Structure 1
Amino acid sequence: MREGALIKSSFFNKPEIPEQESPIWICSQEGICKVWIRENFTFEKIPICPVCGSNMVHGIKVLPVLKNES
């Protein structure tokens, strides 16, 4: 048995996680700070980066589907 065959077989047993394009906020300090936050998990209308304190800009990212009941 090839070494890679054992590793590959473990991937087939995992359930597929649905993904969708999700609105996010991305830190404006591109190349310096890589923080992003899902839009529906923020408290402010226009959030500030929790790591570096810079403004955040709106964007889209393909992410696993999550439900935020709040």
Structure 2
Amino acid sequence: MAFGKKNQQEVKKEDLKIWECTSEDCNAWMRDNFKSQETPKCPICQSDMATSMKELQVVENNSGNWNK
């Protein structure tokens, strides 16, 4: 018997666009589909952010899509 064994779904990963903080002292980043501004500022240190790519688990952001 296998008590506690759960059927786990495969984690779907993709190369996604992210925004990374440009400050040397900060390692913050955010997914592009979670940004609140066209060119966001770092939420930690308020520095500029630059785009990059990262392989991440796919997560949908449904918070602002009520009127679309």
TM value normalised by structure 2? 0.75
Cross-structure match for 2:61: 68
Within the candidate set 26, 35, 40, 1:47 is matched to: 40
Aligned-partner SS, 2:44: coil
- Find the aligned partners of 2:43 and 2:58 in 1 and give their Cα distance: 23
The answer for unaligned runs of 5 or more in structure 1 is 1-9
Cross-structure match for 1:27: 21
Count of residue pairs brought into register by the alignment? 58
Runs of 4+ in 1 over 2 A off after TM superposition: 13-16
1:37 aligns with 2:30: yes
- Find the aligned partners of 1:15 and 1:43 in 2 and give their Cα distance: 30
Residue type of the alignment partner of 1:21: D
The answer for unaligned runs of 5 or more in structure 2 is none
- Find the aligned partners of 2:34 and 2:55 in 1 and give their Cα distance: 16
CA RMSD across the alignment: 1.5
Q: Which has the larger radius of gyration?
A: 1
TM value normalised by structure 1? 0.73
Residue type of the alignment partner of 1:35: A
